[in-house]
Structure 1
Amino acid sequence: MILVTGGMGFIGSHTVQALLDLGESCVLLQRRPAEHADERVTVEQGDITDLDALLGIGARHEITGIVHLAHSGPWPPDPDRPVEQARGALNGLLNVMRAAQDRGVRRVGVASTIGVYSGITARGALREDMPLPMSAPHSIPTFKKIGELLNGHLADATGIEIVNYRISGTWGPRDPHGALFFAAPELVHAAVQGREPDLSTLLAPAHAEDALDLCYVKDTGRAIALLQLADHLNHRTYNVASGRATTNAEIIASIEQVIPGARVGLPTGGPAGRSHLDIGRLHEDTGFKPEYDTARAVTDYIAWLRAGNEH
């Protein structure tokens, strides 16, 4: 049985489904009361900052692995409690590792982010063995970098196999973020709702040429499940991504194939440089290949929203 923290969330829910598809059962840790329709899933209410709750789950269930997707970072930031937030973030990660050690868990997977590559100026594929700058432009990659370093120390000290997932721009059903870091989710929502996209929440204006390694969330979940269940892994860190850069122009073209006349055009004039995550490690150790290209992802997401789902 795999313990999944944040298992009812955006990436977590798709990871759980992928684990079930591969024959695993799961126990989910959620802060809010929740139910799951699949009898192979047990939902436990609790928080990663509560060590007793984590240890209690381990005592009640035969936990063989942990996928830690619950957010471990001070987000959203509270300017009045920065020290307390930082302590809570680190305690959450440490509690997960303490629970793993207590139950003799072999492998713990931990969500990291494409944001750890911020500051690397090289174009093309970003590889896991590239040296990372010590700085970060946002609290999320800051704490993910801290977490990766801490995970390496704990793996050596405890003997637990701790695996970092450097997750790329994930999007698709149940995405609660909208246009937080990239435009694709809002472009699809706007098209389905018959309006112009609101991209005011982005850090910079969006252009048709803007490109990012976008990974459809069903592929993200399957990649994480494969990493958790693989008999043997050769590395501690893996890029979880599509392995290619997708432009806003590609997203728009796919939307217009499904919804002709959608008002989702963007101006040109964006940067020409593109980079993406190299997924060679992931493919070699798990056999993962993305199943959703841009057109299939857009079609699936539009169908999901047209079925009455909010996100």
Structure 2
Amino acid sequence: MILITGGLGFIGTHTTRALLDLGESCVLVQRRTARLPDAFADEAGKRVFVEQADLADEAALLEIGRRHDITGIVHLAGSMPWPPGAYEPLDGARRAVTSLLNVFRAAQEWQVSRLGLASTIGVYGGAETGSPLREDVPLPMTALHPIPGFKKIGELMADHLSRTMGIDAVTYRIAAIWGPLGHTPSPFFAAPQLVHAAARGVAPDLSTLRSGAHADDGIDMCYVKDCGRALALLQLAGTLRHRVYNVASGRMTPNSEVVAAIRKIVPDAQADLPGGRDPGAPARGEYLDVTRLREDTGFEPAYDTERAVADYLAWLRTGNDR
């Protein structure tokens, strides 16, 4: 039975689905009360269980392991001060680090076979190398945003604790993820806004983007169903040869490719973008090397841009708001 922190969130829901499809059962942990999605209704109380606990509360987390036979952990809940401004800086940092330490404590007490930890493509920010970005690229010790900053802290701590505690802890550097249940608008890439606007027959609002609203701007985009399956495969793999894995499509997807896929389904979509690249965007579109993921799990993306856009549009057109 795999415990997933943030298991009812965006990536967590799809990782749960992938684990269920591979024959596992799951315990989904949320800090706030959340309703189990209808997609899991048939498995509720049989193969899917929901528990409420604040990861900063060690006793509450460990109690879950007394009710369920936990064999693995996928830690997707953000061990970072979030949302911004919600806590006084020291208190926010303390809660973030404590939650990660408590997950390691639970992994030790429950003697799990593997602890998977979500990191982000953002840790590569400032790396002095070209794409594709490999897991062994030296990373700068600075970060311009709390998410990559605390993910770097988590990666260093995980490396130390996995060696000193004898825990099989593996870090997953996750690319830009999009698809059903995703957050929009995104400040990082245009695809979610473009698809949502096409589904509703309106012009996309790209004002939230920090940069990258031109046709040739792009990023490594991994459809969320592929991401969930990759995380499930990494969790269940018999042997992993590395401590860090990129979870991504392994290519840069430009905005123009997303627009072309949208217009195959919605020919009159209002998705005109300025040509070329955004002068304020990075000089290159970054994407991740996924050789380790492919070699150790056999993973291949099932969703190219056209299939992903079609699936996402169909989801939104059935009345789902995100």
Q: What TM bracket, shorter-length normalisation? A: over 0.9
For 1:290 and 1:122, the matched residues in 2 are separated by 25
State how many pairs are aligned: 311
1:287 matched to 2:298? The reply is: yes
For 1:51 and 1:177, the matched residues in 2 are separated by 32
Structure 1 residues 111, 186: CA separation in 2 closer, same or farther (over 3 Å shift)?
same
Q: Which residue of 2 aligns with 1:153?
A: 160
Q: Which residue of 2 aligns with 1:250?
A: 257
**Residues 219 and 253, structure 2, Cα contact 8 Å, conserved in 1:** yes
Superposed CA offset, 1:194-239 (max 9, x none): 1111111111251111110000000000000000000000000000
Give the CA deviation at 1:180: 2.1
Q: Which residue of 1 aligns with 2:272?
A: 265
Q: Which residue of 1 aligns with 2:92?
A: 85
For 1:285 and 1:205, the matched residues in 2 are separated by 33
Counterparts of residues 1-311 of structure 1 (less than 5 Å): 1-33=1-33, 34-35=35-36, 36-37=40-41, 38=43, 39-78=46-85, 81-204=88-211, 206-270=213-277, 273-311=284-322
For 2:194 and 2:229, the matched residues in 1 are separated by 25
For 1:70 and 1:135, the matched residues in 2 are separated by 22
Give the CA deviation at 1:193: 0.7
Instruction: State the TM-score, normalizing by the size of structure 1.
Output: 0.97
For 1:76 and 1:60, the matched residues in 2 are separated by 30
For 1:107 and 1:96, the matched residues in 2 are separated by 12
For 1:273 and 1:80, the matched residues in 2 are separated by 35
For 2:144 and 2:85, the matched residues in 1 are separated by 17
Q: Which amino acid aligns with 2:137?
A: M
For 1:83 and 1:237, the matched residues in 2 are separated by 28
For 2:76 and 2:141, the matched residues in 1 are separated by 23
**Residues 15 and 221, structure 1, Cα contact 8 Å, conserved in 2:** yes
Unaligned runs of 5+ in 2: none
Q: Which amino acid aligns with 1:130?
A: V
**Residues 184 and 193, structure 2, Cα contact 8 Å, conserved in 1:** no
**Residues 31 and 47, structure 1, Cα contact 8 Å, conserved in 2:** yes
**Residues 190 and 212, structure 2, Cα contact 8 Å, conserved in 1:** no
Q: Aligned-pair RMSD on alpha carbons? A: 1.2
For 2:89 and 2:304, the matched residues in 1 are separated by 40
Q: Which amino acid aligns with 2:28?
A: L
Give the CA deviation at 1:60: 0.9
Large movers: runs of 4+ above 4 Å: none
